[in-house]
Chains A and B, each alone.
Chain A
């Protein structure tokens, strides 16, 4: 039953393929499929929370010989948030995706992308993780290039080449690790690696994994493909990518740097912390220079990745818990911002901040939908971003990591600057062309309703900070002690 997050997208992806000629059926399947997936994810989360780590030995081959699917709390949380985003984006797609893209297979690709993402979240085997990454990448390549506009194709070239490079690096790291340990089952690796006399070899492999996953999660200095490609496809696809793809990379970093590579944390996790600082700063400064709404938000994706790495780099249970809560917050807030950007474009016909203006006076609702996730991203109470950053800062003070805390707070202020810039330019200032502004097009209720739901969920994540942080803390407790994971999968105590 824990394979449902993989099987449901596969089933509905296949159904959409069968209904190739019939977009109306595909649209219905997309809503049904993502709703079913959301239900399954909630069920899984409750079950893991009550009964501890769940696992499934595929084909009944016992671990470590067969492939094993493992759902711990972190996986379950990620699957649930991903399913919520998928459901909202599916509803948004009903009106936002033009019919040529639907005819050329938007919905099947959407489901196969989800299958890859969920597979990466719940697999317990590193080689299997590679395969899920490829499933996800392949769908994302086609989704990015779908439509074939010139910027899209150019963005896709950059995205494809750098991601292929990252996959091959990942594969070579797998080869070296297998040579060292003789297994790629994560629990088995966690059991064996501490006993091996490997010297620096294991740190070398850890760094290869860092580069491979780092390209995928767009950390400094490997992020260049992201601002070059994410703004090119329709904003629905960008929203989906921003919510899911880079976060899978971060999830993989969390998995390997809490379970496997914890031999030399003074070296590896210090590097993570330094990278976290640079990622935050470069992302936010890159954003400050942009005037295109989508490019500005794309740079903010990078900056927020830095906060996620900050918790991992500090490597204590409260810090990990803060990062997990931050991940939930940033996925919800970021995706809502992109969806609002899509609504703005539909209304005013532009993403350029210089050409926008006056939305606040004519469309108060849209302005509110933007304001809530934007302030949340900047970290104002009582929104989720405030609690996420507060938890990170408190964890940093406990560990006396004052430098990174200072960087984090400074970047937070810069984020607020970026968000006020968008607010001033797009929402508050006088419209540049009042006549064109006055006759803006009506917005499909699919668009604003789905965005409003996501903003509401994001709001809930802030209002329910206490129970969510408790959940994140339980997830972090599982990460901080690898023996729980090993015990659950292999049934032996290390």
Chain B
């Protein structure tokens, strides 16, 4: 099972990185979401999983039976899920705001931070004119 989980996490990582490298903001966001899933799976796998052995303690002993899965990473995952939920919600609102202001979700058009905004706007208008009607 660990093998399968590892493969899944690997595929998720690959898909996430592919998506993050896309030009569209929405696709980048999907990439970040996939990345957080991949990491949650990785954390889950890091517990040395044992099937069907919950970490419950017998009535007459102090320790759970041997070879149980470590529950701590699951607590990590819960925390990570909550945090990534908040961050994703913020990222979506920010992207909505970007779309409102720029009217585009193309990352290549976001160059106001490097050159003055007026130049960016002139350049993109010229590109529009060059496009065949």
Which residues of A come within 8 Å of B, CB atoms? 127, 131, 134, 137-138, 141-142, 145, 148, 150-151, 153-158, 160-161, 164-165, 167-168, 171-172, 174-176, 178-179, 182, 228-229, 231-232
Q: Contact at A150–B76, with CB atoms within 8 Å?
A: no
Chain B binding surface SS class: helix
- A134 near B87 (CB under 8 angstroms)? yes
Partner of A232, one of B101, B107, B113: B113
CB distance from A232 to the nearest CB of B (A): 6
Given A154-B111, A168-B35, A174-B76, 12 further pairs, Cβ under 8 A = A151-B113, A153-B94, A153-B97, A153-B98, A154-B102, A157-B110, A164-B32, A172-B39, A175-B39, A176-B46, A178-B72, A178-B76
Instruction: List residues 90-115 of chain B with CB under 8 A from any CB of chain A.
Output: 90-91, 94-95, 97-98, 101-102, 107, 110-114
Whether B97 contacts A179 by the Cβ 8 Å rule is: no
Cα–Cα, bound, A37→B91 (Å): 31
Please determine whether B73 and A175 come into contact, CB atoms closer than 8 angstroms. yes
Tell me whether A138 and B94 are in contact in the complex, defined as CB-CB below 8 angstroms, given that A151-B112, A171-B80 are known contacts: no
B113 adjacent to A154 (CB under 8 Å):
yes
B69 within 8 A of A: no
Interface residues, chain B, with chain A CB atoms under 8 Å away:
20, 25, 28, 32, 35-36, 39, 42-43, 45-48, 70, 72-73, 76, 79-80, 83, 86-87, 90-91, 94-95, 97-98, 101-102, 107, 110-114, 117
Which A-B residue pairs are the 5 nearest by beta carbons?
A179-B46, A175-B43, A154-B110, A175-B46, A151-B112
Considering the chains assembled together, what is the distance between the CA atoms of A118 and B86 in angstroms?
21
Point out the residue from B79, B87, B95, B101 that lies within 8 Å of A150, measured CB to CB. Answer: B101
* Given the contacts A157-B98, A164-B32, A179 and B48 also touching, CB distance less than 8 Å: yes
Which of A154, A179, A229, A232 gathers most chain B CB within 10 Å? A154
A165 to B36, CA, bound (A): 9
Query: How many residue-residue contacts, CB under 8 A, span A and B?
Result: 94
Least Cβ–Cβ distance between B128 and chain A, in angstroms: 18
Docked complex Cα distance between A68 and B79 (Å):
17
CB atoms of B113 and A229 under 8 A apart: yes
Q: Are A165 and B20 in contact (CB under 8 A)?
A: yes
The residues of A that contact B117 with a CB separation of less than 8 Å are 150-151
Q: Which residues of A contact B45 (CB under 8 A)?
A: 175, 179
Query: A134-B87, A172-B39, A178-B76 are known contacts. Are A158 and B110 too (CB-CB below 8 A)?
Result: yes
Checking A150, A161, A165, A228 against B114 with a beta-carbon cut-off of 8 angstroms, the contacting residue is: A228
Q: With A and B bound together, what is the CA distance between A151 and B113 in angstroms? A: 6
Residues from chain A with Cβ under 8 Å of B94 in the complex: 141, 145, 153, 156-157, 160
> How far is the CB of A180 from the nearest CB of chain B, in Å?
9
Contact A161 B42, beta carbon cutoff 8 Å: no
Residues on B with C-beta less than 8 A from A141 are: 90, 94
State how many angstroms separate the Cβ of A156 from the closest Cβ of chain B. Answer: 6
A433 to B103, CA, bound (A): 37
